[in-house]
Structure 1
Amino acid sequence: MAKLDEIAELLTEEISEFEKSIARLEKVHDGMKNLQLRPDTAGIDALLKGYSNNQKKNIEEQQKLMQRILRKVEKSILLPSWAIKLSWGLLVCVLLVIGFSVYQVSRISKKEEAAYIKGRDSVMGHYGTFLEESTQAKELYQKWIEENGKK
């Protein structure tokens, strides 16, 4: 029985401690009811609005870029590869013809000089042969040179 008395005594102590804890909890609970807490979310709201504005700006810029890209794609022309190769080939041929023409034009003065020398030599040879064959013409020519040489 002694043990039962001890257990009963411990139980009563525990119950009284439990009642005291409940009383304290009720006081704290009443104090919490009277306390009005209002969380301040202004900083978070401002941060979220700034982020939202940045996102809107980014989206608008991306849409503008996309519109420009789409316009450029719509205006672009797709050419077959053979047409491009043909165009390059024609361009190379035109450049070669122009280059050869410029080369030929630059050589004109040399050709003219060579033709002049050839013609002069031919004429001098022809007149030399003529004067050698015709003594009368040679005498007249020398007389003419002497008259012009004195003037």
Structure 2
Amino acid sequence: MAKLDEIAELLTEEINGFEKSIGRLEKAHENLKNLPLRPDTTELNNLLKEYGNNQKDNIEEQQRLMQRILHKVERSILLPSWATKLAWGLLVAVLLVLGFSIHQVSRIAKKEEAAYLKGQHDTIEHYGTFFKENPEAKVLYQKWLEDNGQK
């Protein structure tokens, strides 16, 4: 909107300058009418026409630029800053959760191996304790192993 205000101010200044120039020219024309000589004003008329045409072209160009700017402003979409911050926050949260999930999944094999080794150790310890408390069971187990050829 600042550009629009600046363009409007420039147009107003140009128009005021043009009106002042016309006022001065009218005064000069009145002074020339009072002189006994009749000057040739064709050059002056041509200059004024050329200046008027230039002003008209400038105004039309500025109006076209103004229309383009207004069209672009109307088509633009403005998002509030809180919506942008919320979207970035959600994106960061999703990426953090995804990264943590991938990290946890990659550690599953290590956890399974550790659990297997702990289970194996606990089982051996449990049977060892059982065989210490029940020596007759240990003897029966060893006999069974010999019979099946697994010792």
Relative contact order higher in (CA < 8 Å, ≥ 6 apart):
2
- Normalised to the residue count of structure 1, the TM-score between the two structures is 0.50
